[in-house]
Amino acid sequence: MRRLRSSESMRRLVRETQLDPAGFIFPLFVCPGEGVKRDINSMPGNSQQSVDLIVKECAEIRSLGIGGVILFGLPVTKDEMASGAYDPKGIVQQAIRAIKREVRDLLVITDVCNCEYTSHGHCGKLVDGEVDNDATLEWLAASALSHAQAGADIVAPSDMMDGRVAAIRRKLDANGFSSTPILAYAAKFASGFYGPFREAADSAPQFGDRRGYQMDPANAREAMREIELDLGEGADMIMVKPAMPYLDIIRMARERFDVPLAAYQVSGEFSMIMAAVQNGWLERERVMMESLTAIRRAGASIILTYFAKDAARLM
Ligand code: PBG
């Protein structure tokens, strides 16, 4: 076996898995104001930025050949009704318009969820202390439509309510957006690895957790059912999230479903590597590329990752 490992040129010739920046999506956090850039402590190199700076960053992202961005919003105010999520003049809606004006051909995906916009931090409408599934669908459909109207190329529901893909598809179709694709966070697990994101997006639930709607980390067959349901409701692409602790789920999904498959290397996966790097325990470039290669090898062709820019620079 060692004959084919004798030099980098030889190894390159027989390499089975290739990474391409065109398959990376970079997550961005948009906040109000102008010229605002607030570093996120737990995610070195990432920050909350106002629309003007987001637009500049998008120009850089495009020049690196990265596939696109996914936007998360930090609204001026939060309320019980998640009004900021579906406000046509909301923070994400403003950012989409600005990016589409200045960096036209960069693909803009929006995360469709309510947790960044509710005062209680849950992903939907609370009724008797529980997230009400069907009432939440209306907010999600309204948000997705407002994103499409602002110019989003793809909408990506991440809330894990039942029936949300169908509700969004119906709303988009009825309003002239039948060509806007849906990337469903189809198999999204109730994961401890979202910790740093909740600081980044200020979206930690004020009480309880998300286990009533996100999936139990122990379940693989159920993940396949979630994906099947989302595809049945009209999802164009599917996502598994987190990525590295769920490579088996990515592989299973790749073998069963013939649609584009995305995986989200989430905040905790990123921060964990960066913390070890800062301690001198891991080599940054090496571990970054290895983690992305592993996710790609498992079967994801699209990778949402906070490493997108750094990895693209190396490629
Ligand atoms: C919104 C959402 C979350 C993430 C993406 N969309 C957080 C959550 O479900 O609590 C996590 C992304 C990351 O950790 O990088 N619901």
pLDDT digits (tens, 9 = 90+) for 220-246: 999 999 999 999 999 999 999 999 999
CA distances from 297 to 15, 184, 248, 254, 302 (A): 11, 21, 11, 10, 11
Mean pLDDT of 206-223: 95
Assess whether the C-beta atom of 197 lies below 6 angstroms from ligand 1: yes
Q: Angle at the Cα of 241 (from 235 to 243), degrees rounded to 5?
A: 125
Q: What's the pLDDT tens digit per position in 285-306?
A: 999 999 999 999 999 999 999 9
Judge whether 6 lies within some domain: no
**% of the chain beyond a pLDDT of 70:** 100
Once rounded to an integer, what is the mean pLDDT over residues 19-36? 98
Tell me if 156 is assigned to some domain.
yes
User: Does residue 4 sit within a domain?
Assistant: no
Q: What is the mean pLDDT of the chain?
A: 97
Where does 162-266 have alpha helices with state H? Answer: 164-174, 195-200, 221-232, 247-256
Q: How far away, in angstroms, is 194 Cα from ligand 1 center?
A: 6
Cβ of 123 below 6 Å from ligand 1: yes
The Å distance, Cα 199 to ligand 1 centre, comes to 10
pLDDT score recorded for residue 121? 93
Whether ligand 1 lies within 6 angstroms of the CB of 28 is answered as no
Question: What CATH number corresponds to the domain at position 293?
Answer: 3.20.20.70
pLDDT of 134 higher than 90: yes
Q: Is residue 111 part of a domain?
A: yes
Using DSSP's 3-state secondary structure scheme, residue 112 falls into strand
β-bridge pairing 37-39 and 107-112: unpaired
Token pair for 8: 């980098």
The answer on pLDDT for 175 being more than 90 is yes
What integer pLDDT is reported at residue 199 of this predicted model? 87
Closest residue by Cα to atom 8, ligand 1, is 194
Q: Tell me: pLDDT of 11 over 90.
A: yes
Asked, for residue 14, whether it belongs to a domain, the answer is: no
Domain that holds residue 201: 20-314
Q: Is the CB of 305 under 6 A from ligand 1?
A: no
**Quick check: CB of 69 below 6 Å from ligand 1?**
no
Ligand 1 atom closest to the CA of 160, numbered from 1:
16
CA of 214, closest atom in ligand 1: 9
CA distance between the termini of the chain: 27
* Nearest alpha carbon to residue 88 among 175, 207, 202: 175
Tokens at 278, concatenated: 């800062």
Is the C-beta atom of 158 inside 6 A of ligand 1? yes
Q: Is the pLDDT of residue 138 over 90?
A: yes
- 266 alpha carbon to ligand 1 midpoint, in Å? 8
pLDDT at 240: 98
List, for residues 35-55, the tens digit of each pLDDT value.
999 999 999 999 999 999 999
Mean pLDDT of 55-73: 98
Please calculate the CA angle 18-22-23 and round it to the nearest 5 degrees. 65
**188 annotated active-site:** yes
138-152, 195-209, 270-284: range with lowest mean pLDDT: 195-209
Is residue 126 in a domain? yes
pLDDT at residue 135 greater than cutoff 90: yes
CA 91 to chain centre: 17
Q: State how far the alpha carbon of 32 is from the alpha carbons of 74, 81, 101, 260, 289, in Å.
A: 7, 19, 18, 33, 33
Closest CA to 216 of 226, 207, 206: 226
Count structural domains, the chain: 1
**Model's pTM, two decimal places?**
0.97
Per residue in 241-295, pLDDT (tens digit) is: 999 999 999 999 999 999 999 999 999 999 999 999 999 999 999 999 999 999 9
Strand partners, 215: 189
H or E element: which one contains 49? strand 47-50
- Residue 273: inside a domain: yes
267 lines ligand 1 (CB under 6 A): yes
Determine the distance separating the centroid of ligand 1 and the alpha carbon of 197, expressed in angstroms: 6
Q: Which atom of ligand 1 is nearest to the CA of 304?
A: 15
Confidence check: pLDDT of 131 > 90: yes
pLDDT band at 184 (very low <50, low <70, confident <90, very high): very high
Q: How far apart are CA 181 and CA 244, in angstroms?
A: 26
Task: Note the pLDDT of residue 153.
Answer: 98
The pLDDT of residue 261: 98
